[in-house]
Amino acid sequence: MYVFLKERLEAKSFIDPQKICEELEKAVPEKEKVRAIIQKSLEKNRLSPSEVATLLNVQDKELWEEIFEAARKLKEEIYGKRIVLFAPLYIGNDCINDCVYCGFRNSNREVQRKTLTFDELRKEVEALVSKGHKRLIVVYGEHPKYSPQFIAETIRTVYETKVGHGEIRRVNVNAAPQTIEGYKIIRSAGIGTFQIFQETYHPEVYRKLHPKGPKSNYNWRLYALDRAMLAGIDDVGIGALFGLYDWKFEVMGLIYHTIHLEERFGVGPHTISFPRLKPAIGVDFKSKYAVSDEDFKKVVAIIRLAVPYTGMILTAREPAQLRREVLKLGVSQIDGGSSIGIGSYSKSDPETLKKSQFTLYDTRSLEEIIQELLKEGYIPSFCTACYRMGRTGQHFMEFAVPGFVRKFCTPNALFTLKEYLLDYASAETREIGEKLIADEIEKLEINKEIAKKYLKRIEAGERDVRF
């Protein structure tokens, strides 16, 4: 059955480069047309590829301000003020691929290869939990040693590692494409979202940038999340590495990927990521498609309008000031206190960069980021309630698409913020956070009194209360 399925899936790509280019060439961003598209998005409808192409071609500054404002409004209406926080945890950087832009590529002799032992993994998790983290994304190179069994065992180890009141409650995964049976093994460990980036959706460019290794197979990677969903993983994350090819084409690729998943499985991606290409040790790749800060903001705003109900992830690849600006354009998740050197959370490692896939540009601590979010009126959230209450996949979208999810997410976010303030925050952060919690509780439209009781339970020492 699987062999047949694989052949059927790889028979034809759902990405048609010629069609995408034609749509971009034909789309004329007339003012009234653009405003009608914006309104459609504000009504929480996913946009069509031709509508996205129209937004991508906007040149008028006034219209761009309207697009940015609509992105801000949509995020507020669907997700409220909460910003979900997580940390990346790199398990190992051995890799049999030779992607020309990647620090982990097989031919790179400057990178220091390292895979965490299980004892080292526990120390990394302890270090992260001791800072207040509740959500991780674990990352692996593509190598036979990182088998589905190994990945599942590392995830179980993460969940089993406790420090005082603290624990990791959701482990998302960024790993190589698997077979359906491989995904089932990983799913058995209780993962959250399985994330795979196509890197570039342009097949010809993809082949040039991925000359060797399993990753050289464009369609095997393109359909990787289909196999994940067939294996029962109903929360998947897509993304493109912006800077490998024209940014407008990549946005269109993400939209077509979203539509493909919706049509085949009845639910689109749980998250969309849009990392930009960054320097890495031992990498001399020069791209003519570098995405400017201004165009990066456009990428984020258009994705928010195109898929109003999907989570959007902004990483510490970007510098702090740009993250502050982009956060306002529809982002729902960010990482904080991040380090991507293998083993670098639990010890000071001057060789961190030599074990890293790329360079980070926002190296602020988790508390620094939380305090800034609080001062800006955001609700920092470590919430994992939807995942653990069964609100995933299509069930989650039933809440998210009409905007109902914020009725659950806001109080749950406040509960996890309360935990952080009591267990990890400085006195200054605690004071700012307690005031925000008090203000936001009074704004709740439903379950206000119940939420107040839950906060009292947390103050009394209970943890992990949730709607």
Give 249-264 pLDDT, tens digit per residue.
999 999 999 999 999 9
The pLDDT of residue 394: 59
Residue 4 pLDDT > 90: no
pLDDT classification of 278: cutoffs 50, 70, 90: very high
The pLDDT of residue 1: 30
Percent residues over pLDDT 70 in the chain: 93
Give 367-412 pLDDT, tens digit per residue.
999 999 999 999 999 987 766 666 555 555 555 555 555 667 899 9
pTM of the model: 0.93
Give 320-377 pLDDT, tens digit per residue.
999 999 999 999 999 999 999 999 999 877 667 788 999 999 999 999 999 999 999 9
According to CATH, where is 3.20.20.70 located in the chain? 75-391
Q: What is the CATH number of domain 75-391?
A: 3.20.20.70
Q: Is 35 exposed, middle or buried (0-12, 13-18, 19+ CB in 10 A)?
A: middle
